[in-house]
Structure 1
């Protein structure tokens, strides 16, 4: 397998195809597409085809020889999607009606990738949930129709063979299994009633035939995450508004579902939003980034138990490389763009870099390199892309022109196992210097403080280092509190306070003889305690310390206490 991997960049000038690393150059086999209206582009899942919309034409290119195999004219497609085996290409465009055509034309089209032949068209008015879903073997085809999920088999798009209509479905996800198929559905709850996540086995869709069911009250939206084996899934529930006022981002919850009927809620050890969720490509664990900044990142096993904590830091995104032996943690958006790369097996940080203003990140299929990009419309200035080595070395940089906007960058896809697991080392790779100046990491100091010693402190008391849950480790916050307690204790000892060894407690010379009667002995002990307190007050008075009125009255009451003590001991 050649090491030079193609990648495509779509901008306001058109589409360019490039290759690299190790050498970064233009793809000579297919020239740049010159167009200011390239709306979308996409590589097929196995990289066999490359499709893009050039103005009003949809073109399909075979990547083996980079020859155009089909041109579909007169399309206004906004979104594209391939079937799992790249047999079909689906496109969606805005639905509209005219005076001449009040019913509107079908806007969801399915084409044969090899020839561009139109196979079937549907009407799907809304952009949400437009993309049909296929089984991994392409035997099953499914899509949402109103609030039902309908199924077709064996590439026969004329006959509906099954339907989920026992519930009103807001979203669904088809498992990536082959031969046996499972479907996860989000069933919104009525006012005051919980929503449900339901797992069905195809084609058993009766209300009582669900394999597993999970209820949750806060679920305006549900995102589904299947592992690549298709035997376990995660459901990320989201409410647009947190009614408690605790979070600007709404409120999230993460739930686990297995084909064995097991369900569980993933418990987070820090409050706050859930920013990112991803399954390891090796299927035995998943990672979550969550909590108010500095956010935590935790790896969980299939029992939803934490097995490793990455600690806290300025992060809100995570990405596994395709082989699953590296995981990248990054902080983008309103964070400064710090990137960490960890060796998953060794639980070791092996690379880091700064990628400020990044709006896009994608691992290369080789699992060694990744690209970051600043794209429009999120950011309209400073557009461009960079390619990095996992150690944090910058290998290539391309900045857009002054009047050019970059919309998208993506690697060509490859079949699974096309690349072996990369050998991970801590060796630092030599890279290039970024063209943009790096912001100074030195904190600003006013002129009056520049010749004085630097005082170090943390803005965030809850910062934690990486560790295994249950290990003999303490967070920075607990260590800081421990140091505070020790310093306070040392200060008291130095001042002679609370030091029982330096200054013995003051007690009176009066002795008591216990009688064995519990009631009498209790009274004798109370009187002894009061006489000891009076003796201490008398000593303070002798040292010249002014006493309060109630303290003086206690001293005057000493004779009465002695008389009462004498009567009790008769």
Structure 2
């Protein structure tokens, strides 16, 4: 039976999966838990408090290990044999030297650590601070210095291989699978470009694949499940070409067996929002481009298989069996979730509305999706929701302050013939997810809630106004000055039934002040068009955002010229 944990400000619970939702029995922490995680294979569950770290069996709830370390972070080896604790580094009060703060413990015999290391920082990616094991746990790799990577044997005492990179090692990632390898990112120095190198483990002497990167300040290294190919998402914080304020992204594919590498051709300009491998290892998907973004599926040779319609999305994830894929818009987007069936020619199954989602994941059985709103990203509406892949709302639980949540990893075959359980009573009084209302055109505050305003341009409305009835004091004064100037120069007024005729639109157009009004109105229209695009979720350039901030200045100038909306 599937289960998930939720860690709140005053509680830590493990609940059974869909259909039951009741809490399981285990020794819960007296104090609030700092962190809680499942092992990668789901055989262990660990949590840390201000006094100790505890490892339990998620099935029986029995305590497997008590470790006298108030860990700030935890990490399991692939099979759950070892657990790594990390605490903030500190110096010994007597010697003045840094104390080892990264400790490796054997869950079966936690009396003393099997490995002790000094690790001052946690790095930029999950597990980068820890020992990284191969899938069979025969070797553990760790970066011991900025340019040194060491492969240890299973005891973590003896070196099985060592690699020294003069350019430094910014990040590394060990592959899963039966033939382990490690991908290493070097930023390059003294004119050398950055690069990614793949070495065989444990010797670390044979290069299996390599790729020189055009531009890269940081990378995301993503292995497929078999460990035969690695995707590299290379990013820069600033786009030196000046095309965008959000930096630059380039995606590469490295294949271990053939040693081939290539740049993935993305046919829409803009950043790479998310990349994910299919659990079948023969396909990956990319969400990329300015909003509305594009989602494209590729095979392991980098060939385009299928593209989805453009939409405001920035997140994707395959179901554990690879049958379905979620493409969603979270973060600064509205929380729309699309579910596609890869087994039915990428047909769209349904659409969910999950606003304010900060975490989501597929259940191990591949039939349910968990969405959660967590703190500190959002401190309101915290809680968990569970959905069936068909779009049915199944369960909801609210928390005053929810910090983390996660499914227990398990290997469960997909069974689509299993009947859908009835929704839990917690969703009875909640409105089901509905598609958002279509966006209407931007209307200024004074025009909202009233009758529909005629769709005429600002300039047309200005020129259509009576020339004298609604004039401001400044406009009347300027008109008198113009009439006095014409009288001094002897200019005759325009003929018309023996009396001075009102100025026509063509005559007004000849006046410099009216030309300025028209120019300002043109700027105002452009600003409000940008505001509409921004409200619809489109990412604007920095210059466009700055232009929006000048709206009040434009309105002030128009008012000084006698114009009003």
Interval containing the TM-score (normalised by the shorter chain): 0.7 to 0.9
Alignment of 1:455-470 (within 5 A): none
Determine the C-alpha separation between the residues in 1 that align with 2:419 and 2:245. Answer: 39
Structure 2 residue 81 is the aligned partner of structure 1 residue 84: no
| Whole-angstrom distance in 2 between the partners of 1:450 and 1:19 | 55
For residues 288 and 434 of structure 1, the distance between their equivalents in structure 2, rounded to whole angstroms, comes to 37
Flag structure 2 segments of 5+ consecutive residues without an equivalent.
442-447, 456-528, 537-565
Instruction: Tell me how far 1:250 sits from its aligned partner.
Output: 1.8
Within the candidate set 73, 79, 101, 1:107 is matched to 101
- 2:169 matched to 1:169? yes
Any conservation in 2 of the 1:397–1:434 contact (CA below 8 Å)? Answer: no
Contact residue 27 and residue 62 of structure 2 kept, 8 A: no
Give the direction of change, closer, same or farther, for the CA distance of 1:11–1:97 in structure 2 (3 Å limit).
Answer: same
1:7 is matched with which residue: 4, 9, 29? Answer: 4
In structure 1, what is the equivalent of residue 265 of structure 2? 267
> Which residue does 1:377 correspond to in 2?
376
Equivalent in 388, 406, 431 of residue 402 of structure 2 = 406
**Structure 2 counterpart SS, 1:339:** strand
CA-based RMSD: 2.7
Q: Structure 1's 309 and 24: CA in aligned 2 closer, same or farther, altered over 3 A?
A: same
Structure 1 residue 220 and structure 2 residue 217: aligned?
yes
**Separation in 2, partners of 1:335, 1:425:** 34
Is the CA contact (8 Å cut-off) linking 1:15 and 1:34 kept in structure 2?
no
Q: CA deviation at 1:41?
A: 0.7
Please name the residue that 1:54 is paired with: 49
- Given the alignment of the two structures, is residue 40 of structure 1 paired with residue 30 of structure 2, yes or no? no
- Residue 249 of structure 2: SS of its match in structure 1? strand
CA separation in 2, counterparts of 1:32 and 1:433?
A: 30
Residue matched to 1:540: none
Indicate which of 222, 228, 244 corresponds to 1:231: 228
1:307-318 matched pairs, under 5 angstroms:
307-318=305-316
**SS of equivalent residue, structure 1 residue 237:** strand
How far the C-alpha of 1:98 sits from its partner, in A, is 4.7
Match of 1:126 in 2: 121
User: Secondary structure of the equivalent of 2:159?
Assistant: coil
- TM-fit CA distance, 1:192: 4.1
Deviation string, structure 1 residues 487-539 (Cα, Å, up to 9, x no partner): xxxxxxxxxxxxxxxxxxxxxxxxxxxxxxxxxxxxxxxxxxxxxxxxxxxxx
Q: CA deviation at 1:382?
A: 1.5
Distance (whole Å) between structure 2 residues aligned to residue 298 and residue 425 of structure 1: 31
Distance 1:361 1:436 in 2: 20
Counterpart in the other structure of 1:337: 335
Query: Separation in 1 of the partners of 2:226 and 2:97?
Result: 42
1:237 touches 1:253 (CA, 8 Å); kept in 2?
yes
> Tell me, what secondary structure is at the counterpart of 1:311?
coil
* CA distance in 2: counterparts of 1:86 and 1:220, whole angstroms: 33
Which residue is equivalent to 2:65?
A: 70
The equivalent residue for 2:459 is none
Output the CA distance in 2 between the equivalents of 1:31 and 1:72.
14
Correspondence for 2:151: 151
Aligned residues: 441
Equivalent position SS for 2:70: coil
SS in 2 for 1:345: helix
1:173, 1:237 → 2: CA distance? 14
Q: Contact 1:362–1:372 (CA<8 Å) still a contact in 2?
A: yes
Q: CA contact under 8 A between 2:151 and 2:202: conserved in structure 1?
A: no
For residues 417 and 191 of structure 2, the distance between their equivalents in structure 1, rounded to whole angstroms, comes to: 52
Secondary structure in 1 matching 2:34: strand
2:38–2:44 CA contact under 8 A, matched in 1: yes
- The 5 A counterparts of 1:390-539 are 390-401=389-400, 405-414=401-410, 418-423=411-416, 432=427, 435=430, 441-443=437-439, 447-449=450-452
The question of whether the paired residues in 2 share the 8 Å contact of 1:11 and 1:408 is answered with yes
Following the alignment from structure 1 to structure 2, what is the Cα–Cα distance between the partners of residues 62 and 114?
12
Give the drift of 1:411: 1.0
Structure 1 unaligned regions, length at least 5: 464-570
Q: Which moved more, 1:185-194 or 1:156-165?
A: 185-194
Displacement of 1:69 after TM fit? Answer: 1.7
User: Are 2:235 and 1:242 equivalent residues in the alignment?
Assistant: no
Q: Specify whether residues 451 and 217 from structure 1 end up closer, same or farther in structure 2 by C-alpha distance, changes over 3 A only.
A: closer
Structure 2: how far apart are the matches of 1:377 and 1:45? 25
**2: CA distance, partners of 1:288 / 1:426:** 33
The alpha-carbon distance between structure 1 residues 293 and 428, as it changes in their structure 2 partners (threshold 3 A), is: farther
How far apart are residue 177 of structure 1 and its match?
2.6
Which residue of 1 is the match for residue 16 of structure 2?
A: 19
Contact 2:160 2:203 in 1 (8 A): no
2:137 is the alignment partner of 1:138? yes
Secondary structure of the residue that 1:441 maps to in structure 2?
coil
* Contact in 1 for aligned 2:394/2:422 (Cα 8 Å): no
Alpha-carbon distance in structure 1 between the residues aligned to 2:226 and 2:170: 25
Q: Do the aligned partners of residues 191 and 246 (structure 1) sit closer, same or farther apart at CA in structure 2, a change above 3 Å counting? A: farther
In 2, Cα distance between equivalents of 1:434 and 1:348? 31
